[in-house]
Structure formats: C-alpha cells, structure tokens
Structure 1
C-alpha cells in the first residue's frame, strides 16, 4: 500500500518511536555530526540551512565538526593535490586538532546531551560518520541525511545505530521529525524518512520541494570561527558558500544529481531543479556580507551558468554591486566570449569546467555528455588569458575505458590554451545514484554492495581486465605530467607510473620539475583547491 509511506511488512502494527513527552522546543537538543574529510575546508551550506530552520522553530542546536582533525579516521590522501599551490594556515591562526576524534565526540555528547544526532554525509564520509556513532557509549536516536542517504537509504537504515534516514531535501523533513519527537507524536509517517520500528522499516515518500526563496539565511554561526577560512590559489580566504539554484538540468552519467530529478518525479514531489529569485540572491548576499565579511564567494551550484542570456545579464549586473571574488563550476556549453568577459568584470577568481573525457564517442555514449571537442576547446579559448584562473576536470578509470581511451583525454588536455591549469585527473568513483555505477555492476566490474569510502581514494574500485587498477592509479598520479611536460619526457613519466621505489623516485623528480615550471615553487602544501 502506498499512501505517503510504504512498509516492507504492512501486516505488522506500527508503533511510534518517539522519546518526547510534550517538552518545549528549546529543551530538545539536536547535535549535528559533520564527518568531513580532513581539511576539506568549506562550511557546508546544507548544515547551515538545517541549523537555521531548527533555530527558527526554537530548537537547541550544536555541532561536532571533523574538518580540522588530523586523525587517521578522516585522513585525506594528498594523491590528487600534488600539483596544487602552497598555503600557510598559521597566518590566519588556524588550529589543527591531534586529539582522538571518537573521544572528543563522546565528550561533546556528554556535555551537550542531545536528544537527536543528525549526521550529514556524502558517500566517502559515510564510513567515518557511522564509525563515530558506533563509538558512542550511549544509544541516542540518530538520523542520517545528505547525498548518500538519498541514494542508498536501504544500506544505512540496516545499521543498528541508525533510526532514521532522510531522503531528498532535509530542511522541512528534519524540522518535522524534531517536532514529532519533541512532542511525543508518531513519527512513522514522516515524509522523506525511512523509519526503523521494532525491527522493520517504514519507507515514506518524499514531500514536495521547498520554495528556495522561503528558506532562512544559512546559520554559519554554528561553526568554529576558523571554519570560514578556505585555501584557493595559494591564499587563504574568508569564504562563504552561496546557493543560487538547486539541482542540475543535465543528465551526466558519472553524476548523481540527475537521480534527484528522477526521485522527485517518481514520488510526484515536484521538479527538483529550480532557481532562487535574483532579488532573493541579492538579499542573501547583502546579509552574508554584513555578517561574515567574506573575501571569497563559493557558488555551491552544480552548473552555475546554466541559465539564459537574459538571466545571466541580470545576475551579472546585480553582482557588480558586490564584486567579491568568487569561484564557480560550470560546463563548456554555458560559456561564450561575452560571458567570459562579463565574468572578468564580476571579479571571478577561479572556475572549474568539466572535460571528463577526451574521446567524443565515449563521452557521448557512456557519459551522456553530448558536446564536441571543438565546442569545449572554444569555451576554454574564451576564458583563457583572463584575470581569473581556469582548470579543466578529467576522470580516468571509468567503465569500459582502456589506456588508449585515457590517452585521448590526455591529448585533449594538451590542446588547451597554456593558461588553463591542469589539476590532474580524478579516478572514477562509482557513487550510488549514478548510471555509470549501474553499468559497472552490470558488467561485473563492481560488487553491488560496495560503498565509496576514503579507503578507496587512492585507487580504483573497478576490476576491469582491459584496464587494470595499477594502470589507472599510475595514470591518475602522472596525468598532469603527461599534459604539461613535453612528449620527450613520456618514457620517464611511464616509469613514474609505477607505484614502487623506482617509480616513486622518478615521480618526485618529475613533480618537482612540474611545480617549478608551472608555479615557480619547489614545495607545496598538499591541501588546496
């Protein structure tokens, strides 16, 4: 039966799981757990919005943030960051924590006394969050939300320490859940939630999408003051994330954003991809500037320039009133010479544009990226030589790929204007909610039960006979070298692909040369953006 919720065993009576007793909202305490990757330093707008929503309803909120812990549990691999610029965290007084993550979380729980723990995770931080919750001495009602929770709720809800899993947007769903728990009301039919009750699971449909223009401004006060600092291009900035639209109109096979559109359509919950009104964006920027004095705006948008020319010109003219340096992510199809010029006037600092793969047939058929190489090159030419920096993102090790196909991506990157930065290539991660994951499973490259975690960040999760894991790792770590160094260096770079003593020595020598020729420096902090 499907009446706003689904039950795996509809013949069993539902028993409301609710620790409340009609208490006041201010007496109900919610602890956010943010199991962030080490030094991934951007305050998440999602948690800031959830906090603002809860505080607006009178709830008491606190946060345990893993970002500045240098702990093996959330260790970040410098693998992808080898070609990035150095930063000096000390100049901003940023402190790092060497203490034990689990012990500090336990101390926070003992001091704060939460009635609910809310864990926000993406797939590669899920393992960190789960292990931290399992480490607690006391059993506290716990809800998991975020990207991974939306696409793999069945995997999360089966864990003994998890009581609720929130699918889709959490702003209204979490407030609804907290009101019910606080007042002792039934929770089994809470929209968006998978609810565990007496050994069984109730699976509720997703509620209609929220009007983005009605959301409160994000509560970045929740975070440690040093969390506002983020590295970018060798400098540390006071950085705030801003959301101008939610979702993405494109259907790329390596991204799970299209699955949001499908999930909301399936549950008849509205159109997930939508935009804020420009006037609301202006109001939010005014408020953020006054409260936090940002030096850098980080537009937290899948494809920032996915808009009509009229919309772009309105946005550009509005932003001229601020001209705060900003970062954005976009697609080549959204770039024109006119837009490239306007971005310079708006004070863009840096942009990332997706290349993903250099072979047009593979990119079209496998990745659902229907754009020609020449159109992408035109976009990079339009933005090259501007006062902002541009980097192209590539991926290696995708399903069905071969070494020769991967070199098509390298050859494409070598055609880019010399001003375009090459930040290396990411190894394909088979995230839940992506169609490429389903292809990998179907072709026998991937165990269906596998979860992307930090333990996989240095290697490929796919087992493909035509493109072995060792080759993928070697190409990923030498990708920038192949792109930027002359072809006469290729024999030595091939040796540097080897992940052993000999390969490592060649790699370090070539990397030093790459750094000196690219940035004029010999040593880099592994954490940058």
Structure 2
C-alpha cells in the first residue's frame, strides 16, 4: 500500500502536461482472511482515473494485528469448514505496525482532497478506528456500501462527525459526480444518493447503473498477496468477475430483497445480467493484466440465468476453460447444466442450505424447497465428480438448539467437500434484522459482526455461548458417528475442559473422517 503501487496516476493527463483534478484516497476496511478482491474498488479506481483524478488505496487486509490476530480463512480451516492451506504467500505483505497510525501518515504525506470509504457493516468499526487517528483539519470523508445504503443516518450518527457524507445505492455514477462537484467548487448537495447530517441532506436512491457500460476494473493498487485466494487446500490467483447484479430470490436473512424493493418503489429494476460479451472482455483483461489462473463469478445465485443466457455464457467461457467457482442454490441444479459447466472448467460450487428444518426454513427464512430436493439435487454433483460445499447458519431468531440439529441431520445426508457453519448476522436492511429488533434480541443501533465470529443476538432460548459451541462442533456432528455425539456435546462447552475435548475430537475427525491432505509448501508466488 505504501510502495509504488499505492498510488495510481493518469498517464494520459500527465503526458499532456496536465495535473490530475483531485487526489482521492480509497479506503477498504477489512480483516485478515477475507481474501477476495472487492470488485467495487476496482471499478471506482478505473472510473475515477478516467475522470482525471489521482487515486491511492489504504487496504487493512494485510494488518493481521488489527483484530487481535483473527484470520477468517484460518478460522474456517481450524473448525474443519475448509481444507488446511499454506498461507505464507498471503502473509508476505503483512504489516505489524498500527493501522490507524499508518493511515494517518498516509493522509498526511499524500494529502488527498477526499477520503472515500467502501465498508460493510461488520467492517465499519475498523473505518472509524482509522478516522479517529486523523487531526481535526482532515480531508472530507464519504462512506458508501450496503450498510451506508440501508442505515445512512445511523452510519453518520455513530461516526460522531468522523464521516461527513454517505452515498446510498450504487456508487459508480454518484461518486464521480460528487467528486466533480467538489472539484468545481459546487454544492455537493445535488449529488444523487447523498446524505449528511449537517447540513441535513437525504437524497433519494440514484438510478441503478448500466452494468453494460461500466469500464474494466483496475486492481493495480492492491498488493500481490491480495490476488491470492485459498481454495481446496491451495492458493489460486483467483479474481472476481460480476455476472449478475441483484438476486431474484427473497431470503429473509439477505439484503438483496430490500434492494430490489427499494429500487422498485423508485421505479427501477435492480436485477441485471451482464452480457456474455462484457464478461468475455473482463476475463481477457484479468487474465492478461493480472495473470488470473482462475475466476470467482460474483453473483448471489449464478444459475439465475435463463437457458439462452446460460448457453451464451458457456459458449463464451469455452474460450478460456480456466477453473472457476460459483455459488447457487440446490434447487437450481440441473444435471445437463452442471455437466456443461464441468466441461468448461467448473472447479467448485458453494450451495446455500442455511437451515435443515423445512417448516422453519419456509416460515422464517422464505426458502421454499424440500429437504428431499436438496439431497437429490446435490447428489447429482457427486455423480458428476464436482466438489462443493454447503453454507449453513446457526442462531436465527426463533431458532432453538433442537432445530439447529435438523440442520446437522440434513448435512449428514449430503456428501459435500466442505461444510460451513456461520453465526446468524443481523445486517441492516434484512427482514430478519427487523424481527430480531422487535423481539428484543438486539438493539436498533447495534452493528452486525463478521459471520465467522460469535453472534451478537441475545436470545433466551438459544444463548450466545450455546450457538458458538455448536458452531465450532458443527462439522464434528456432521462427519463423526453418532456414538461419539455424547463426547462432542462436551466439546460444545466454552470452558478449558470443553476446549480440550474439542481439540481432541477435531484432530480425530480430521484424521479419520475428513479426507484432507495437508497441502504442499508453496515456495514462490504465482507470477502475473
């Protein structure tokens, strides 16, 4: 971040002898182990550069001490949710200096005219820690992202004056417009989607962007280690590619339905698919400019494609045949489609199961699919030899420990390569967040935490410790014989005795039941 790649200049302007219009410092609050590159930052860099601005980046991913050494991906490997991997290359750019101090030094030395932060709700506190290190005569600060969109007033109020503005909705059009107004000395209040407390501004959602006209992303500001992602026990140079923006489903734990409804009320359609030609151009760009050896297709549900668009994607991607990862829903599995995806390079799939009780899943999560369908559809991937993982959530409002065991039982019927168990995270903008507040399980101003950390809900029927204990033992219950369940129950206790039982059972499960091979050591970084 502080080397040659921390600043991006516009070579065309400099060749003409013109200075950049404005210096903009992009800030990405993030924790170690959250390794996927953020597409939004790549797009903003490209868009702002094209507008003539000078851009730099402060990314906290490589500050492992920022969150007391917590590493999300390593935590998953420790809990047997994922294969163990050698993270030496991911750690090659780690910094052990205080991130807020380094941030303040970056701002003081580079002197940006604007600090633009893209933060999720669980990473928002990191942004505040950085901003607290700045002097009172700091640059103007604007915040964007899903949290800012669904809780703009809260994001401004909790910052206690550290954040001046919020941009709600998609920022690919509104952020450059905001910068243009500042550069020209115009009142920024007319920027679509702008919110502030002083003066009081609450603009409506901007129009959804035309994803067909967006430029190619520019990831040149990121450190080399940020291009790497662990998958199936090894590191891939895996870059994200957006294929679909929005989701046609209405799951109660997700904010996509709220985005869809907000844009519908404003007279717009939020769900958009990118054409195969646009995706092809981006794939060529990422393979050529950044040496991608694999891709992560960025879509809430990849198989929301209709038959025509699915065929167009497959025909297009057959030119590349690099390994790729997708996420989708079990009920979208059709054998002919997955046979075709395997032919063109499908590496792995992530499926959202979330809960194993059909009635609970339909009533509280708005997921209308039978357990039989889930088991039968996922068995298709076993027959085709396609690895996949399941995603499950523990600690929903209304859930009990007994109901959570229905999720365990369903996963025992599925032959997955990985079983993820996350704590329920009540993000603002989701229907279940409103329920949790109404039930008194969380306060309206409380902030959601990372999905790989303990829940923030305080429920009388399913305590925080009970949820966390079951979460760490989830894979043990799924993979080990039921004769061992009484011992596993002891490992749920968050006590020294329970910790010892958990470590003993985890090692036994890894050795006897997981089929994990330790990855070979990696001695050199994959080259661009």
Equivalents in 2 of 1:422, 1:400: separation in Å? 27
Picking from 28, 38, 41, the partner of 2:35 is 41
Pairwise CA RMSD of aligned residues?
A: 1.9
Following TM superposition, by how much is the alpha carbon of 1:402 offset from its aligned partner in structure 2, in angstroms? 0.9
Deviation at 1:522, TM superposition (A): 7.4
Deviation at 1:387, TM superposition (A): 4.2
- Corresponding position: 1:341 with 2:339: yes
Q: Does 1:246 align with 2:241?
A: no
Tell me which of 116, 119, 126 is aligned to 1:118.
116
CA distance in 2 between partners of 1:25 and 1:405 (Å) = 62
Structure 1 counterpart of 2:287: 289
Matching of residues 340-379 of structure 1 within 5 Å: 340-379=338-377
Query: Does 2:421 match 1:425?
Result: yes
| Uncovered stretches (5+) of structure 2, i.e. residues with no partner | 1-17, 522-528
Aligned counterpart, 2:321: 323
- Return closer, same or farther for 1:502/1:443 CA change in 2, 3 Å cut-off: same
Alignment match, 1:406? 404
- Picking from 311, 314, 321, the partner of 1:313 is 311
Change (3 A) 1:85 1:115: same
Query: What is the Cα deviation at residue 442 of structure 1?
Result: 1.2
Other-structure match for 1:453? 449
- Cα offset for 1:308? 1.2
User: SS state of the match for residue 353, structure 1?
Assistant: strand
Once residues 73 and 267 of structure 1 are traced to their aligned partners in structure 2, the CA distance between those partners, rounded to angstroms, is 39
- Hey, what does 1:108 align to over in structure 2? 106
Cα shift readout 1:284-331 (whole Å, capped 9, x = no counterpart): 212222211211101111111111122212211211110111111101
| Match of residue 504, structure 1, among 499, 503, 511 | 499
Aligned to 1:493: 488
**Number of aligned positions between the proteins:** 496
Distance 2:76 2:35 in 1: 16
Say which SS state the counterpart of residue 287 (structure 2) adopts.
Answer: helix
Aligned position for 2:274: 276
Q: Matched residues in 2 for 1:67 and 1:115: separation?
A: 24
8 Å CA contact retained: 1:116, 1:141: yes
What residue in structure 2 maps to residue 205 of structure 1? 204
TM-score, structure 1 as length reference: 0.90
Alpha-carbon distance in structure 2 between the residues aligned to 1:524 and 1:471: 36
Structure 1 partner of 2:3: none
Query: RCO higher in 1 or 2 (8 Å CA, sep ≥ 6)?
Result: 1
State the Cα distance separating 1:72 from its structure 2 match: 3.3
The alignment partner of 1:64 has SS state of strand
Q: Does the residue aligned with 1:299 lie in a helix, a strand or coil?
A: strand
Q: For residues 378 and 433 of structure 1, what CA distance do their matches in structure 2 show? A: 33
Contact kept in structure 2, 1:126 and 1:453, CA below 8 Å: no
Q: How far does residue 448 in structure 1 lie from its aligned partner after superposition?
A: 1.3
**Structure 2 residue 216 is the aligned partner of structure 1 residue 232:** no
Q: Is the 8 A contact 2:454 2:468 kept in 1?
A: yes
For structure 1, which runs of at least 5 residues remain unmatched after alignment?
1-23
Per-residue deviation, 1:236 = 1.0
Deviation at 1:468, TM superposition (A): 1.7
Does the CA contact (< 8 Å) of 1:127 and 1:453 recur in 2?
A: no
Distance 1:369 1:524 in 2: 40
* Equivalence for 1:60: 54
Which residue number corresponds to residue 92 of structure 2?
A: 94
Cα distance change, pair 264–107 in 1 and its aligned pair in 2 (3 A): same
By how many angstroms is 1:348 displaced? 1.1
Please report how far the alpha carbon of residue 457 of structure 1 lies from its aligned counterpart in structure 2 after TM superposition. Answer: 5.0
2:175 alignment counterpart: 174
Q: TM-score, with normalisation over the residues of structure 2?
A: 0.90
